[in-house]
Chain A
């Protein structure tokens, strides 16, 4: 009997204009934690969707435990012992934990018995969870626990984890890793997808590296440095953003005891958020997803109104001003969601440039649009930020994630803001674009703007910010200079594994 659980041979999948996977082959052994490493767009998700039966390969074959394996649907995959924890899109907010778990199982027991088993498994693995709670009320870490327990209840042979740590604090990551090591020890194979190199070095036995749909390397992650892994993944030497140290200026953006109720039913309210951002500095705001990031951005951009004196720009009260008035004064923002929030997908780049540039770029004449000037502004963004597109008359949605993000951030930077607030500026963006965006934000600060970067990527914040604060359940910790912080301290600022303790008490 071989020790290989899943063998993948020559899997190929083409989408129009893209070869998502090109003859990908590798093996996953029984009881190993196997890393699948690659940049955004390298083809990792397509590959796991084929393993999970969501997408059918154009060519190639898989064998599971020596038998041919070609799942036509996730039901078949689950029946064969393959389970998956998704990065997005697989929980139902308005339904209870037990209902969510039942939906991910092939033959769930009756609800009462299921609730009992959820408690059982959650205690066995140290992942406390109340089956009766509504998922929308759970924290990001707890939601992931729902997904993991859903998988564990089916006693899978192969567990696929898609970017599982992007929503966890460092302490929660440790707990997750302990669970995964224990599972692997019990004989479960784990396919671990990530682009976080340190994690993979800490956790995984072997790694397969994908670039542009192809396997470009196989490695023992523990034997290589993070930098070597990164260069295999990206295929080129990485540029590290840098800037000359600059003196800190006056306070530009002053937020004092800002409390705001979230407008959405499962949102997080802001609770007495206080911060002062100086000219020439970058304040990094970390935190696990869903702890008030979107609300903070909306409060600063003017999409949500606040008490007038809660937000000041250069001493002027702006809390009661809408987005347009704040832009006029020099407070600009770029939200996380590119398509649909920061940009209108079906509109042209010119129209998208007009969207936030109307006031500061003087694109209006008595309310009438100066289309020529708007087009010229769009062209300048495209040129300055190296946005790859045939021209400004193309729709925003035709751009790749990285290029659209460069356009969106560039649009705000070119308007010479006094203060700029960005949320997840490099989320889902390829490494080269991410580096360019970080450099642009640092340049903006060096020119004297106050910059707030809200991000869930701690490495990014460590790299570019002067001071760091964390959002936790709508509260902002006191900012501290980044240079003097350790990972553990950051984790504690983000709330540590706080909800675990709470859950322990409750359970």
Chain B
């Protein structure tokens, strides 16, 4: 009989070790999954985790992609992690990402073809504002009417996807696009373009924003009273109220920040790597960022590393698809598995596992 015994206090060693253990277990289980699909598990794991960075043939293309993919993931995950720490569950980042992109692109498309150094900053503001306002819907419904924020934020993703489709097919369709869906390509509109800042690094303004967000979140959580209140509210809501935290203000703050960051991620994507508003503009960053946030243990530095790792699985997954014929869905399942293992081994942080006779009637 195995039983769990609560530790007198959380183990710091395991707090750091569990993500690594989870990644190792996922590689094992993922390998088994790939083997079951008839692929060589060792080759598959190597293709996903090693080749994108170190294989001479692919690295030149893959390495810059790492930052391109990691940027939005980190940016969104940092915002989500604040809420998750406070027990405020924004799981609709995908929708805020879409709305941010629509608003940012909307500014550019409205001003086309004017050229001005102010256009891009205006787009950034519009993107952040769009995500912020979209996130305010669940936040205000929560604070005003006590409506479940998990369900509302998630349902709004589907609404945002429909809005995106309507934009790509209607209001924002490229008038010179020959009737095809999708907006003008912002990469060809210099004032609105979010370019690669350093050649062959993948670094663009979104990545810069992600790094700034990591630093900002670190300072907020560890040095500022607001960050302390966020942590307090998550660990002991009643104690937080006793300490003087206003729960409603916290809900608005967490949704606002995460919505704005997700909106920014969408804006930087639409004005950079993606280039245009199209029906399939969103690729699930808003959901994968949930995994990134947990894998990073809701800690800013952890999220930075987790975002890079998760970006690697995207790139490696594409590579494995191309090289080994591994289905795209396998990578999605692989990422989900990672979150499962992480949550499973998390128990070690707070509990000690004992072997022996169970004494508690369950």
Is chain B in direct contact with chain A in the complex (CB below 8 A)?
yes
Residues of chain A at the chain B interface (Cβ within 8 Å): 13, 16, 53-56, 58, 72-74, 301-303, 322-325, 327, 333, 335, 337, 340-347, 351, 354-356, 358, 364, 367-369, 394-395, 397-398
A355 and B361 within 8 A (CB): no
* B5, closest chain A residue (CB): A16
B236 and A345 within 8 A (CB): yes
A337 and B361 within 8 A (CB): no
* B352, closest chain A residue (CB): A16
Q: Which chain B residues lie closer than 8 Å to A358 at the CB level?
A: 225
Among B223, B228, B232, B361, the residue within 8 A (CB) of A53 is B361
Q: Which chain A residues lie closer than 8 Å to B235 at the CB level?
A: 344-347
Report if A368-B223 is in contact (Cβ < 8 Å); known contacts: A323-B244, A395-B9.
Answer: yes
Report if A344-B223 is in contact (Cβ < 8 Å); known contacts: A16-B5, A395-B10, A397-B8.
Answer: no
B46 close to chain A: CB less than 8 A? no
Those of B192-236 within 8 Å (CB) of chain A: 223-226, 228, 231-232, 235-236
- Residue from B242, B357, B359 having most chain A Cβ neighbours under 10 A: B242
Q: Which chain B residues lie closer than 8 Å to A301 at the CB level?
A: 242
Bound together, the chains give a CA A341 to CA B243 distance in angstroms of 9
Q: Which chain B residues lie closer than 8 Å to A302 at the CB level?
A: 244
Q: Which chain A residues lie closer than 8 Å to B244 at the CB level?
A: 302, 322-325, 327
Among B9, B223, B238, B360, the residue within 8 A (CB) of A346 is B9
Report if A369-B225 is in contact (Cβ < 8 Å); known contacts: A74-B361, A303-B241.
Answer: yes
Bound together, the chains give a CA A340 to CA B10 distance in angstroms of 16
A340 and B236 within 8 A (CB): yes
Q: Which chain A residues lie closer than 8 Å to B225 at the CB level?
A: 358, 364, 367-369
B8 and A341 within 8 A (CB): no
Q: Which chain A residues lie closer than 8 Å to B238 at the CB level?
A: 337, 340-341
Q: Which chain B residues lie closer than 8 Å to A394 at the CB level?
A: 9
Q: Which chain A residues lie closer than 8 Å to B240 at the CB level?
A: 344
A398 and B242 within 8 A (CB): no
A56 and B359 within 8 A (CB): yes
Q: Smallest Cβ distance from A176 to chain B, in angstroms?
A: 29
* A354, closest chain B residue (CB): B228
* A352, closest chain B residue (CB): B239
Q: Smallest Cβ distance from B362 to chain A, in angstroms?
A: 10
Those of B242-276 within 8 Å (CB) of chain A: 242-244, 246
Bound together, the chains give a CA A394 to CA B8 distance in angstroms of 9
- Residue from A53, A358, A368 having most chain B Cβ neighbours under 10 A: A368
Bound together, the chains give a CA A354 to CA B239 distance in angstroms of 12
* A322, closest chain B residue (CB): B244
A369 and B361 within 8 A (CB): no
Q: Which chain A residues lie closer than 8 Å to B232 at the CB level?
A: 344, 347, 351, 355
B361 and A341 within 8 A (CB): no
Among B10, B236, B360, the residue within 8 A (CB) of A341 is B236
- Residue from B238, B240, B360 having most chain A Cβ neighbours under 10 A: B238
A367 and B243 within 8 A (CB): no
A340-B239, A342-B242 known; 6 other A-B pairs, CB under 8 Å? A54-B361, A56-B357, A341-B238, A346-B236, A354-B228, A355-B239
Bound together, the chains give a CA A301 to CA B357 distance in angstroms of 46
Q: Which chain B residues lie closer than 8 Å to A369 at the CB level?
A: 223-225, 228
Question: What number of residue pairs across chains A and B have CB atoms under 8 A from each other?
Answer: 86
Q: Smallest Cβ distance from A185 to chain B, in angstroms?
A: 33
* B219, closest chain A residue (CB): A368
Q: Smallest Cβ distance from B192 to chain A, in angstroms?
A: 36
Q: How large is the interface on B (under 10, 10 to 19, 20 to 34, 35 or more residues)?
A: 20 to 34
Bound together, the chains give a CA A303 to CA B232 distance in angstroms of 15
Bound together, the chains give a CA A364 to CA B225 distance in angstroms of 8
A368 and B224 within 8 A (CB): yes
Bound together, the chains give a CA A397 to CA B9 distance in angstroms of 7
Q: Which chain A residues lie closer than 8 Å to B246 at the CB level?
A: 322
Q: Which chain A residues lie closer than 8 Å to B242 at the CB level?
A: 301, 303, 323, 333, 335, 341-342, 355-356
A398 and B243 within 8 A (CB): no
Among A16, A333, A367, A398, the residue within 8 A (CB) of B226 is A367
Report if A344-B224 is in contact (Cβ < 8 Å); known contacts: A303-B241, A355-B243.
Answer: no
Q: Which chain A residues lie closer than 8 Å to B236 at the CB level?
A: 340-341, 343-347
Report if A72-B8 is in contact (Cβ < 8 Å); known contacts: A344-B239, A346-B235.
Answer: no
Q: Which chain A residues lie closer than 8 Å to B228 at the CB level?
A: 351, 354, 369
Bound together, the chains give a CA A398 to CA B238 distance in angstroms of 19
Q: Which chain B residues lie closer than 8 Å to A327 at the CB level?
A: 244
* B357, closest chain A residue (CB): A56
The 10 residue pairs across chains A and B that have the minimum distance between CB atoms: A395-B9, A324-B244, A398-B8, A323-B244, A344-B236, A341-B238, A398-B9, A355-B243, A344-B239, A56-B359
Q: Which chain A residues lie closer than 8 Å to B224 at the CB level?
A: 367-369
Interface mask (B7-18 → A, CB under 8 Å = 1, otherwise 0)? 011100000000
B239 and A341 within 8 A (CB): yes
Bound together, the chains give a CA A343 to CA B232 distance in angstroms of 10
Bound together, the chains give a CA A337 to CA B242 distance in angstroms of 11
Q: Smallest Cβ distance from B122 to chain A, in angstroms?
A: 30
- Residue from B5, B239, B357 having most chain A Cβ neighbours under 10 A: B239
- Residue from A16, A72, A364 having most chain B Cβ neighbours under 10 A: A16
Report if A323-B243 is in contact (Cβ < 8 Å); known contacts: A56-B359, A369-B223.
Answer: yes
Bound together, the chains give a CA A364 to CA B226 distance in angstroms of 11
Bound together, the chains give a CA A354 to CA B232 distance in angstroms of 11
Those of B319-362 within 8 Å (CB) of chain A: 352, 357, 359-361
Bound together, the chains give a CA A342 to CA B235 distance in angstroms of 13
Q: Could you list some 22 contacts between A and B, CB below 8 A?
A: A55-B359, A55-B360, A58-B359, A323-B243, A323-B244, A333-B242, A335-B242, A340-B236, A340-B238, A340-B239, A341-B239, A342-B239, A342-B242, A344-B239, A344-B240, A346-B236, A355-B239, A367-B224, A368-B225, A369-B224, A369-B225, A395-B9
* B236, closest chain A residue (CB): A344
Bound together, the chains give a CA A53 to CA B242 distance in angstroms of 38
Q: Which chain A residues lie closer than 8 Å to B359 at the CB level?
A: 13, 55-56, 58
Bound together, the chains give a CA A505 to CA B80 distance in angstroms of 57
A73 and B9 within 8 A (CB): no
Q: Which chain B residues lie closer than 8 Å to A355 at the CB level?
A: 232, 239, 242-243
Q: Smallest Cβ distance from A11 to chain B, in angstroms?
A: 13
Bound together, the chains give a CA A342 to CA B243 distance in angstroms of 9
Bound together, the chains give a CA A324 to CA B240 distance in angstroms of 11
Bound together, the chains give a CA A56 to CA B360 distance in angstroms of 7
Q: Which chain B residues lie closer than 8 Å to A395 at the CB level?
A: 8-10
* A345, closest chain B residue (CB): B236
B243 and A356 within 8 A (CB): yes
Bound together, the chains give a CA A302 to CA B243 distance in angstroms of 10
Q: Which chain B residues lie closer than 8 Å to A342 at the CB level?
A: 239, 242
Q: Which chain A residues lie closer than 8 Å to B243 at the CB level?
A: 323-324, 355-356
Those of B1-39 within 8 Å (CB) of chain A: 5, 8-10
Q: Which chain B residues lie closer than 8 Å to A324 at the CB level?
A: 243-244
Q: Which chain B residues lie closer than 8 Å to A341 at the CB level?
A: 236, 238-239, 242
Bound together, the chains give a CA A367 to CA B228 distance in angstroms of 10
Q: Which chain B residues lie closer than 8 Å to A13 at the CB level?
A: 359
Q: Which chain B residues lie closer than 8 Å to A343 at the CB level?
A: 236, 239
B241 and A346 within 8 A (CB): no
* A75, closest chain B residue (CB): B361
* B233, closest chain A residue (CB): A344
Bound together, the chains give a CA A468 to CA B126 distance in angstroms of 62
Bound together, the chains give a CA A345 to CA B10 distance in angstroms of 10
Q: Which chain A residues lie closer than 8 Å to B357 at the CB level?
A: 56
Q: Which chain A residues lie closer than 8 Å to B361 at the CB level?
A: 53-54, 72-74
* A337, closest chain B residue (CB): B238
Q: Smallest Cβ distance from B266 to chain A, in angstroms?
A: 30
* A399, closest chain B residue (CB): B8
Q: Which chain A residues lie closer than 8 Å to B10 at the CB level?
A: 346, 395
Bound together, the chains give a CA A327 to CA B10 distance in angstroms of 31
